[in-house]
Amino acid sequence: MARIFITGSSDGLGLMAGRLLAEQGHAVVLHARNAARAADARAAFPGAEAVVTGDVTTIAGARHVAEEANRLGRFDAVIHNVAVGYREPRRIETEDGLPHVFAVNVVAPYVLTALMERPARLVYLSSALHQGVRARFDDLLWRTRRWDGTTAYSETKLYNAMFAFAVARHWPDVASNALEPGWVRTRMGGPSATDDMDQGHRTQAWLAVAEAAAQISGEYFYHLQRCDPNPEARDPTLQDLLLARCGEIAGIPFVAGPHRHGRASAS
């Protein structure tokens, strides 16, 4: 039996993945933004081991989630499912001065990865939309460009894949992979989505626990099949630049190299 922590799992694909993993005999810890969403998650999935509550919109909130997750003990796998979508009509700024979509989709997974005790497997959710953009380290936080919600979201999904491959390269003791679940009818995907909902949660669950996936790292998947990501995601120079920029933004450096035994500190 494995223990899996799934961020952003009070509903949608995160909750579906959690239920599937529990059906397979694994222990699942969910994550919800606030107490009301946590109550909804417990009602929808009473078999969950626990629900960690915390708003990852802010760096402090993401630190809190990492701290609470660490208190529960080491996980075998973490699925970074938390995200917001592409419909933001303007640049919404968080209290940290970051675009909301970047704070949730990029900074939160970075903070959790850097501060949580290192699991054996890490899974990051990207999107097919990442194929149509390029990394914009000249204006990572959309301070000079005219805002475009779809492009901003797509860039965050490129950074998710880039981050998964960076972690795979720097942490050889961790199987770190990225995937796209498809355009499915979740709250984020919307009612017009056309992809297979039944397939949307299966790849992340498989990567988190399947024996066949234990030695797979630095790969990109769609519906259980390996596929090619945006070539920029595999560029080591861009990967390290992303880690450095996220470290500067969050005030938390990324520590490369083999696992050091003992729990990470979120303080």
Q: Which are the catalytic amino acids?
A: 153, 157
Alpha-carbon radius of gyration of the chain: 17
List, as one string, the DSSP characters of the chain: --EEEESS-SSHHHHHHHHHHHHTT-EEEEEESSHHHHHHHHHH-TT-SEEEE--TTSHHHHHHHHHHHHHT---SEEEE-----S---S--B-TTSSBHHHIIIIIHHHHHHHHSPP-SEEEEE--GGGGG----GGGTT-SSSPP-HHHHHHHHHHHHHHHHHHHHHH-TTSEEEEEE--S-SSTTT-TT--S-GGGTTHHHHHHHH-GGGTT--S-EEETTEE----GGGG-HHHHHHHHHHHHHHHT-----SSPPSS-----
